[in-house]
Amino acid sequence: MKRIYILLLFLSSVVAFGQANILNAKSPDEIGQKSIYDEIDSDNSPLPYGFISEKDVIFSKTIWEEINLDERVNFPMLYPIDTVVVGNERRPLLHYLLKAALDGDLPVYQRDNFKDVLTIPDLRQKLIYQRIYNGDGLNIGLDRIVNEAGNKEQFLINAGVDIGEYSEIDELDPSYPEDEYAEYLKRMDELIFENKLLREEEYAQEQVGYADVQSYRIKGVWYFDKRQSDLRYRPIAIAPVVITPRSKDLVNNNATNVNVELETVDLFWVFYPDARPFLHNALSFNNKNTSKPISFDHLINSRRFSGFIYKEDNVYEDRDINDYLPENALLQLLESQRIREKIRNLEQDMWSY
């Protein structure tokens, strides 16, 4: 009976501490906020990485892993996807990365080589897809544009919008390059939406949500430090892989019987050391003890996730496993395990005599 009482007391304490400051809150608004005493005792900066001399690194290997969010161990990175049913202190990993990027506090890149910076306007375009309805004789969308102005360009001019360099393009000219004409039509649509010339019932809109995150791709380096006599891991970059809003629109508005597959894309890449200050204060859900949540920075650095290797640095321009083992998931998985074992064997060889 005494053991049962202690167990119930422990479980009640776990539930009670599931939300920060819930025991000291004077009003519902204070639930989830740190008390003044916790603010004084807390450290808002991540533990800095120690300096690693190149002379101390006996060997290193750069690998790229994909963290599948369908696996239960990776759920803390995905959930919650519906933030209405939880407190403000619980948000998925994408929330903190995206918020810092859109605020301009965290630089993001198009690829993991950090050469091409992704601007905030370009990032916003990747998050949303808008499509003008045909109208079908209802005088809405494209039908209204044609009835009022004849084409999108004239529709913009009638509304007083400056279309800039595109004013010299003739839509009826068959000799105009196809790719440039497609860019022209895309820009016309962008100007129409930027100037809010359509009503809500005249277009469809899809945007990236928390539930659209399929996986995370993480680039890291395994290295053996002879000074510490230890094989260690250092994350270098991370990217959320999301369903594109355009493919969501195609699936939701598919009037034919043709199967339309959802497309995924790397939303952006982040240099991980830049993201550490934001992820250090971002807490993930700890299913074993809700009174002790784990920061996303700790979760990633301590490798509390399950991922499979889809690429390693190699002489073939760092090609993916899928490039030399296409359309064979079993062989790709075995190759991933082979690369992992190769790194472990390198460490074991350090202790062979």
**CA gap 256, 235 in Å, rounded:** 45
Pairing of strands 294-295, 283-284: antiparallel
What's the whole-model pTM score?
0.82
Measured between alpha carbons, how far apart are the two ends of the chain, in Å? 56
Please write the tens of the pLDDT for every residue from 37-91. 555 446 678 888 988 888 989 889 999 999 999 999 999 999 999 988 888 888 9
Structure tokens at 59: 């060997």
Q: Are residues 179 and 311 in the same domain?
A: no
Specify the number of domains making up the chain: 3
Q: Are residues 192 and 158 in the same domain?
A: yes
Q: Are residues 240 and 113 in the same domain?
A: yes
Q: Which residue type sits at 13?
A: S
Q: Is residue 326 classed as helix, strand or coil in its secondary structure?
A: coil
Please write the tens of the pLDDT for every residue from 121-135. 999 999 999 999 888
Q: Are residues 78 and 213 in the same domain?
A: yes
Q: Are residues 345 and 217 in the same domain?
A: yes
Q: Are residues 220 and 107 in the same domain?
A: yes
- Identify whether 314 is part of a domain: yes
Longest dimension (CA), the chain: 88
Q: Is residue 344 classed as helix, strand or coil in its secondary structure?
A: helix
- How many residues are recorded in the chain? 353
- Identify whether 137 is part of a domain: no
Structure tokens at 157: 């001019």
- Identify whether 164 is part of a domain: yes
* Domain hosting residue 251, numbered range: 55-124+209-349
List the one residue out of 251, 252, 261, 272 whose CA is nearest residue 93: 272
Position 275 confidence tier, pLDDT thresholds 50, 70, 90: very high
Q: Are residues 118 and 147 in the same domain?
A: no
Q: Are residues 225 and 305 in the same domain?
A: yes
Q: Are residues 168 and 228 in the same domain?
A: no
- Identify whether 204 is part of a domain: no
142 Cβ neighbours under 8 A, 6+ residues apart:
132, 133, 134, 135
**Dihedral (CA of 85, 86, 88, 93) sign:** negative
- Identify whether 226 is part of a domain: yes
Q: Are residues 229 and 257 in the same domain?
A: yes
